[in-house]
């Protein structure tokens, strides 16, 4: 499960429709105008001038907020060296055209994964469409968790850099049914952390539902610490009790 700040969710929803844009501009403009009237009252300046300036500033803030990119960027680019992202049991690698043809990524998604992630059938269909294009997967931060030897896809790591916090990373992770219960998740987090530190970032945030004991143990084994228990709005509309962990870059 990947962390997703509620503010970013609101912005993305506003960006998704003309009505969202309109409401954002009206709201920001009204707030700016109200501030302008307060300034006029406090300073004695002409109210028409301060109202116009305040409304203009509000509209500018609305534009900057709604127009800014909010999609996280993948950390492992085409130039990232993944040759050392391996343990005795697993490795992180890029998805390939062969994976796309075999629908290898989709095969790791079962009812347990969709329930944990809060994905609707439409979400799964969207992921399946993305999985047909390895370049899109890479751009969106997806890496395959495979065995140290062989081409099977055991699970997926999502490793991204959010625009709002450029010095940090988000980590999402799931394993296919056959790979669960063997301690592979914490190994995958260790490997993902190597990529984050090599990219010059200072922390990784990861979260899961409060009832997902296996994932919480995986976070703890990887050295992450619990820092928040904020409820989380899942893509399917459910709000669940969640736990949030942070893994900080080791100090020399």
Distance CA 86, CA 234 (A): 31
Query: If pLDDT is split at 50, 70 and 90, which confidence band does 49 have?
Result: confident
Query: If pLDDT is split at 50, 70 and 90, which confidence band does 15 have?
Result: very low
Distance CA 218, CA 206 (A): 11
pLDDT at 189 over 90: yes
Residues 141-176: pLDDT tens digits? 999 999 999 999 999 999 998 877 778 999 999 999
pLDDT at 68 over 60: no
Distance CA 5, CA 205 (A): 11
Torsion region of 200: left, alpha or beta (phi above 0 gives left; psi -120 to 50 gives alpha): left
Percent of the chain clearing pLDDT 70 (strictly above): 81
């Amino acid at each position: 499960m990947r962390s997703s700040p509620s503010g970013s969710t609101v912005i993305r929803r506003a960006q998704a429709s003309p009505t969202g844009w309109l409401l954002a501009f009206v709201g920001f403009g009204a707030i700016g105008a109200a501030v302008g009237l307060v300034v006029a009252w406090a300073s004695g300046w002409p109210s028409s001038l301060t109202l116009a300036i305040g409304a203009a500033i509000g509209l500018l803030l609305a534009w900057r907020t709604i127009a800014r990119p909010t999609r996280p960027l993948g950390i492992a680019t085409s130039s990232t060296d993944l040759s050392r992202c391996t343990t005795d049991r697993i490795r992180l690698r890029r998805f390939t055209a062969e994976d796309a043809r075999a629908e290898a990524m989709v095969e790791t998604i079962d009812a347990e994964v969709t329930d944990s992630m809060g994905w609707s059938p439409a979400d799964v269909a969207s992921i399946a469409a993305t999985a047909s294009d390895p370049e899109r997967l890479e751009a969106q931060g997806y890496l395959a968790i495979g065995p140290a030897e062989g081409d099977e896809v055991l699970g997926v790591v999502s490793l991204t850099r959010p625009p709002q916090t450029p010095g940090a990373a988000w980590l999402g992770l799931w394993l296919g049914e056959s790979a669960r219960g063997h301690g592979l998740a914490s190994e995958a987090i260790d490997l993902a952390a190597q990529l984050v530190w090599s990219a010059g970032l200072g922390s990784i945030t990861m979260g899961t539902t409060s009832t997902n004991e296996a994932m919480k143990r995986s976070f703890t084994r990887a050295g992450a610490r619990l820092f928040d228990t904020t409820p989380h709005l899942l893509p399917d509309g459910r709000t669940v009790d969640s736990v949030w962990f942070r893994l900080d870059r080791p100090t020399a």
